[in-house]
Structure 1
Amino acid sequence: MSENPYLSVYTLTKYIKRKFEADPYLRNVLVKGELSNVKIHPSGHIYFTLKDDKSRIQSAMFRSAANSLKFKPEEGMNVLITGDVNVFEASGQYQLYVQTMQPDGVGALYLAYEQLKKELAKEGLFDARWKQRLPLLPRKIGVITAQSGAAIRDICSTIQRRYPLAEICLFPAIVQGPQAAPSIVDAISLAESNGSIDVLIIGRGGGSIEDLWAFNEESVARAIFSCRIPIISAVGHETDTTIADFVADMRAPTPTAAAELAVPSREELFERILERKRSIYKSFSHQIKQERKRLTTYQQSYPLQFPERLYRPFTEKLGGLDDRLLRSKNDITVNRKANHERLERMLSFYSPIQRIKEESRNIDLFSERLTRTMQIEMQKNSNKFNSIIRMLKALNPLDVMDRGFSIVYKEGNVVNSIENLEVGGTVQVRMQDGTLEADIKSIMLKYKEDNLNEQ
């Protein structure tokens, strides 16, 4: 017997897990129930609880299996599930690992269709305010459909019959199968980048919901909504309705009907032009009759019969105004002349001429006094300036040289003591008319000179 008969939790869990894996009845189990606590992880995994009125089981659907879902699992939804039952080692709980899931009682595609329709309607992608108007006379019509399908033949024949002036540009796309949605989105982008498409028809012939599913994809719906070109959706037959029909600017029951909506009828245009021509002719005829009637009325009117009577009152009024103007002019002239004479008398009475003369004499007196003061000050400053010049000239060492004196330099500096000199040295002697260089042969101190003088 082993000394340690106890198992670790991991070993026990591993053993139970192998028991689950070995049981064939726990493989590809078919289970139905209600979804609860649904959590869609950003990684794409889906975690939820599958329950009925008596029990529940934790479940997980990994991204590889979840990518095949056509609908979005929601709280309270009844589903049919295929999967394996196994143990999650980390928690020691058994759970259902889901491989497939479909709604219980309604098709997965139909449920996905209703879910996306509800979501896009909530976002406002179906609102009429976003719908673009179709051009009245398009020059270039783009068509997105299968290159070899019956839809393109019906569209081309209808446009050629109704409005042959329009140019048809085909943008081939896959309209059925897994690659259909990306192909349609790329075709819409290509048509928009063309830059010359006036209206775009997107469609195909009828079929089952699986055949038409590409036109129920969210990517196609958003590409149609964001396209700047007006789009006519022509998917399937009259009874078929796709998400693309709700998002498009106009919905046609068939490709042929889409072509009829895209272009006007040649006969209708001719009839419309003739009707417009008749309307214009009738309108102008009526207007001419009215104008002729007005002209006759004006010609027979009193002013045109007796035009002089029309302006006679104005002539009389003009004469009266001339008389009033002449009288007013004379009155104004007399008043202005009287005011002028009165002002002249007042001006002569209060004449400022005497005061002006007196102030002029004062100005002359002050000017003379100012001139005299300025001359005295200038003479005083001139004398002071000359005195300073003479003092500076007396102190100028260069002027001393004129009297026979000289200045001794050593290496550019003035020598003022023999202590700065030595026998054998060289000095420069500056005189009044030049500079000479001398060698020092002897130095005699001052007290020796005094002794020599005493002796």
Structure 2
Amino acid sequence: MESRYLTVHALTKYIKRKFDADPHLHEIMVKGEISNFKQHSSGHMYFTLKDEKARILAVMFARNNQQMKFKPENGMKVLIKASITVYESSGQYQMYVSEMQPDGIGQLYLAYEQLRAKLEQEGMFRPDHKKAIPKYPRTIGVITSPTGAAIRDIITTIKRRYPIAKIMIYPALVQGETAAPSIVKAVQQANEQDSPLIDVLIVGRGGGSIEELWAFNEEIVARAIYTSNIPVISAVGHETDFTICDFVADMRAPTPTGAAELAVPHIDELVERILTRQSRLIRGIKEKVELQKLRLNRIQRSYAFRYPKVLYDQKMEQLDKQTELLTRNVQRVLEQKHMQQELIQKQLVRNHPNHYIKKANQDLASLQKNLVRNTELILQAKRQAFLSKIGKMDALSPLKIMERGYNVAYDHHGKLIASIKQVKPKDQIELNLADGMVEAEIIAVKER
């Protein structure tokens, strides 16, 4: 009689086989809302898929979710591809999900928004972390495909705008599953470069779809750019394309060509700036010369210049020492300028800018003439200043005042007489003159 009864296990197993044998329960398409989502340490995802009237348990194993670009969340509406079966241990039927994508929004776009929000919360987009792009870079690193149009545009733009800059190319894949690790490796190589040091790094590629640009939305690429010691300019796609790299980089360029323009100044603008400063320098020197001429005229008319003999002889030795020191300093400056000239010439020879070399030599000759002329003017100014000080000291000497007829009177106690109230008739006084002393007697005292 008991043989007519099934065990729970047998009944559940029978039902499971019915489910497994039904072709309508394999690779079905279902849409719903995720709730009770949990991802196990093994990578498997467990959740409930529901709508307004029903719910069903679901499992998505790690082997199926590893390639997903986004992370499922509670409340998210999704489209899934799954098979229905029975889990024997609990007797519950559930879905085994093989594919999943957001409902109403692209999978890549959702992944993009999730990563952007995550990195922004970590502070990776903060302006205070961004490094300044150097104004005059010597070496520019470029990370992109070596065969794409982007590299040609970057090189052409840099050579046109700033031909003295050196370009270091770090080839990288910019599309496909292996593109992100390739870009990360190139960023690391640029940061490890010893000689020449990279001053600024351009990372990017030409335009494309979100799938083609996806490598620049990968988290490992964003973190590599964020930790780069070299300032990074992001140049991905067209002006309307935005990637995670654009937010993390120190500067975003709308296109690869735009990145090259942001990375280097224009040589013509620099030349114009130099010429402007040269004009200001010449004008300043002329004003300085006119000022020194006025000072010279004042000194020539001064008493010290006309009668410098008294203190001049005493200061000749000091003047000789100062002249010798000044000569040594001038020689050292000339030697430094000569060394700078040689260094500039070597740099120009390496880059073959023949017309700039010619101009630099002309400028050097002009600077040397200006240096000699300015040195002579400075020496002359110092000498005239010295003579002026001698004259002032001579003019303020008490002896010189007494030579002009003035004298100092003392009473018989040796006290200086400064007022008529200190003396009376028949008092004996002493008068100190420039060349001696006179004893006198007061005859009368009169108020003025």
Work out the CA distance in 1 between the residues paired with 2:199 and 2:237.
23
Aligned to 1:134: 133
Q: Aligned-pair distance for 1:312?
A: 3.5
Q: Aligned-pair distance for 1:308?
A: 5.3
CA shift in 2, pair 1:78/1:309, >3 Å: same
Aligned to 2:28: 29
Aligned to 2:150: 151
Q: Deviations over 1:169-215 (max 9, x none)?
A: 21111111111111111111112112322211111110111110100
Aligned to 1:422: none
Q: Deviations over 1:275-304 (max 9, x none)?
A: 222233334444555566567678889997
CA shift in 2, pair 1:104/1:302, >3 Å: farther
TM-score, scaled relative to structure 1: 0.65
Aligned to 2:235: 234
Tell me the matched-pair count. 319
CA shift in 2, pair 1:249/1:5, >3 Å: same
Work out the CA distance in 1 between the residues paired with 2:37 and 2:284.
71
Aligned to 1:272: 273
**2:180 matched to 1:94?**
no
Work out the CA distance in 2 between the residues paired with 1:11 and 1:160.
79
Query: What pairs with 1:111-190 in structure 2 (closer than 5 Å)?
Result: 111-190=110-189
CA shift in 2, pair 1:290/1:97, >3 Å: farther
Unaligned 5+ segments in structure 1 are 325-455
Aligned to 1:83: 82
Aligned to 1:16: 15
Aligned to 2:247: 246
CA shift in 2, pair 1:107/1:299, >3 Å: farther
Q: Aligned-pair distance for 1:103?
A: 1.1
Work out the CA distance in 2 between the residues paired with 1:121 and 1:171.
28
Aligned to 2:198: 197
CA shift in 2, pair 1:191/1:307, >3 Å: closer
CA shift in 2, pair 1:124/1:298, >3 Å: farther
Work out the CA distance in 1 between the residues paired with 2:115 and 2:273.
43
- Return the index of the structure with the highest Cα Rg: 1
Letter in 2 for 1:197: I
TM-score, scaled relative to structure 2: 0.66
SS at match of 2:98: strand
Aligned to 1:55: 54
Work out the CA distance in 1 between the residues paired with 2:60 and 2:302.
97
SS at match of 1:4: helix
**2:302 matched to 1:216?**
no
Deviates more, 1:162-171 or 1:113-122: 162-171
CA shift in 2, pair 1:72/1:3, >3 Å: closer
Aligned to 2:109: 110
SS at match of 1:282: helix
Q: Deviations over 1:293-334 (max 9, x none)?
A: 567678889997875563539x99xx99xx99xxxxxxxxxx
Deviates more, 1:225-234 or 1:130-139: 130-139
Q: Aligned-pair distance for 1:5?
A: 2.8
Query: What pairs with 1:412-451 in structure 2 (closer than 5 Å)?
Result: none
CA shift in 2, pair 1:6/1:293, >3 Å: farther
Letter in 1 for 2:9: Y
Letter in 1 for 2:398: R
Letter in 2 for 1:173: A
Letter in 1 for 2:63: S
Work out the CA distance in 2 between the residues paired with 1:208 and 1:88.
42
SS at match of 1:175: coil
Work out the CA distance in 2 between the residues paired with 1:45 and 1:292.
90
**2:389 matched to 1:312?**
no
Q: Aligned-pair distance for 1:7?
A: 2.5
Q: Aligned-pair distance for 1:136?
A: 2.2
Work out the CA distance in 1 between the residues paired with 2:126 and 2:153.
30
